[in-house]
Amino acid sequence: MSTRIAFIGLGNMGGPMAANLVKAGYTVSGYDPSPQAQEQATQNGIAVAASPAEAATDAEVVFTMLPAGDHVLDVYLGRRGTEPVIGTAPAGALLIDCSTIAVQDARAAATAAREAGYRAVDAPVSGGVQGAAAGTLTFMVGSSEEDFGTVRTLLEPMAGRVVPCGETGSGQAAKICNNMILGISMIAVSEAFVLGERLGLTHQALFDVASTASGQCWSLTSNCPVPGPVPTSPANRDYAPGFASPLMAKDLGLAMKAADATLTDTKLGQMAANLYRDFAFGDGRDLDFSAIIAQIREEPIEGMGR
């Protein structure tokens, strides 16, 4: 397998994703400004470059896994004085952005890439750091039909599932719509447990009913916000993430940006975004998003066994 891949952004997600591409036999050059990320990447067989553009010089495929849309646009366009990937990577290269960013930013990045003669795809993920390490991420792909087959093959070493979502930007759209459901449903499940507690209902009794009835959802059956009913949920390990509250706050912020742009009235989405923003900047900073139940109980986080 001789495809040359550049991987820009070798953090908690990008690091293990790039490592899985190396394990699959690809030649991977990478860039990350963090010395720690560079050291880990070198140990994983990635040739660490001095800049994003240097990593992309000979690449046929350029992955990005960066914190936000501004970082992706900076790397693509060289807006901060660094040499841009667009114009440096060989003509016709395939640019695949796996970061979670605003739909508008994804479309702007793809348009700039296409205008310069590249192919551009958005492929955000769910599955977290465990999924990145295990190579079992779900990818939500926004691409042309023509590019999808190639993209699927490239993602395969990192993926459990690869879902085609439509044209460019659709991967990001699917990701934020899904996570808006997730944020709202976690609040709904947490409110139900707190109400149940005050009505004298045990956690197990509510779980036994709702998990097999119409209240069933992932927030209840996989990421249950109270300890006990689902032994693997973060509630059983003092709410260590898991899916950290600041990431949920970020994704709900992106969903609300998209709702504004499309004049969509998402009342519950807005409430969830507000609750998670406050929680992520406060007690929930280092905790799984299911710890929001403490805020609903109006109990200090210490009351949760920490």
**Is the four-CA dihedral 91, 93, 99, 100 of positive or negative sign?**
positive
Nearer to ligand NAD (CB atom), residue 21 or residue 75: 75
Nearer to ligand NAD (CB atom), residue 179 or residue 206: 179
Q: Quote the least distance from Cβ 212 to ligand NAD, whole Å.
A: 29
Nearer to ligand NAD (CB atom), residue 5 or residue 194: 5
Q: Quote the least distance from Cβ 218 to ligand NAD, whole Å.
A: 15
* Binding footprint of ligand NAD on the chain (CB under 6 A): 8-14, 31-34, 37, 52, 65-67, 71, 74-75, 99-100, 125-126, 128-129, 243, 247, 250
Catalytic-role residue among 175, 250, 257, 267: 175
Nearer to ligand NAD (CB atom), residue 74 or residue 122: 74
Is residue 175 part of the annotated active site? The answer reads: yes
Q: Quote the least distance from Cβ 189 to ligand NAD, whole Å.
A: 20
Q: Quote the least distance from Cβ 291 to ligand NAD, whole Å.
A: 15
In this chain, which residue has its C-beta nearest to ligand NAD?
11
Q: Quote the least distance from Cβ 55 to ligand NAD, whole Å.
A: 9
Which residues are part of the catalytic machinery? 175
